[in-house]
Amino acid sequence: MEIQIDHLASHQNLLPTVAKWLNSEWGKIRGESIDERILAIKQSLNTDRLPMSLVAMIDGKAVGTVSLIPQDMEGESNLTPWVAALYVVPEFRNRGIGSKLISKVTNEAKNLNYRSIFLFATAGREKLYLKLGWSFVEKRDYRSEVVSIMTKFCNDSDLPKPPIREYLTHLHSYVYNLKKEAEDRAKSILTANAIFLASLAWTLRIIAEYHSSSEVALVYAASAFCISGFILAVISVYFSLKTFFPIVIDAGSPMEPIELLKLDLDTAINKHNSLSTNDINAALTRELRAVSELQIKRSKIVGTSGQFFIYSLFFLAGAFVSTILLFFIG
């Protein structure tokens, strides 16, 4: 029994068969019709780019399939590509066809210059992937069930070599620089806010001198602009200050990502006295996720602070205009 694995693009006559399998297996979960599934598979009829689908055959008969796609889990846009839609016809299972499909799709990812690949496994299937060299990353609730996110390097030569402590030192320096860059931006915004609030205080003093002016509307307008600008500036300062505190990661742990990663690796070292490929692989994936989360959260915080500062400038401009009018008219 010789198993042949090839691109589905080279055997498009098998597309309806593959679509029927996948729709039967996951159609109800995803709420897809057979026609929608066929359209989705047609998009993966590629041989040199994502998405792509493979098909396993025995004597020309299709017995299994697997796909390599850019994304397969919402909220994980920083991880790519994903192994998806692994299926083997029931009567041909436990013959190594699934393993061969995984091996082939891993090589395809390697040929496309991807360093690692990802998948999520439902309960009970993690052991199969662990035997095939995959690493566990984390469990999460997804589509009303608990799944395991897993990863695998496409090439063992990509694995970092010991000593791991030096690697962690380098990583710590990298994350520290990310944090410092965000803090420097926040300091600039704080400085600008300080100048803004000083200007606001001067404007309020001028307005106070004209509080009995006949131009009541202008006094009220200038006061409203100042109060609004002050509130927005305070909000901007609040977000800027948040940049200097540890970002809360996932389950509310007030630790920096690098600290979580070092804790993971130190635990593995203390337990095994060394690091296995799986330990390093899973830790690197956590690093990618954690650093990405750090960048996104800090960028959002600093960006929000900058936005509120810009809004406050508009109100300061309104206050200045009103004050100048008071000075000349009043």
DSSP 5-38: EEEGGG-GGGHHHHHHHHHHHHHHHHT--HHHHH
Q: CA quadruple 132, 136, 141, 145: dihedral positive or negative?
A: positive
Lowest mean pLDDT among 16-20, 31-35, 73-77: 73-77
Residue 43 reports pLDDT greater than 60:
yes
Domains of the chain, residue spans: 3-158, 164-329
Quote the CATH superfamily of domain 3-158.
Answer: Gcn5-related N-acetyltransferase (GNAT) (3.40.630.30)
Report d(CA 325, CA 210) in Å as an integer: 11
Most confident of 82-96, 108-122, 137-151: 82-96
Number of other CB atoms surrounding residue 5 within 10 Å:
19
- Please indicate whether residue 288 or residue 114 has the higher confidence score (pLDDT): 114
What does the block give as tokens for 80?
């790519």
Lowest mean pLDDT among 87-101, 226-240, 282-296: 282-296
Say if strands 61-69 and 52-58 run parallel, antiparallel, or are unpaired: antiparallel
- Please indicate whether residue 109 or residue 73 has the higher confidence score (pLDDT): 109
Looking at residue 44, its pLDDT comes to 95
Which strands form 135-142's sheet, in the order they lie side by side?
3-7, 52-58, 61-69, 82-88, 116-122, 145-153, 135-142
Looking at residue 87, its pLDDT comes to 96
pTM over 0.85? The answer is no
* Degrees to nearest 5, angle at CA 154 with 138 and 109: 100
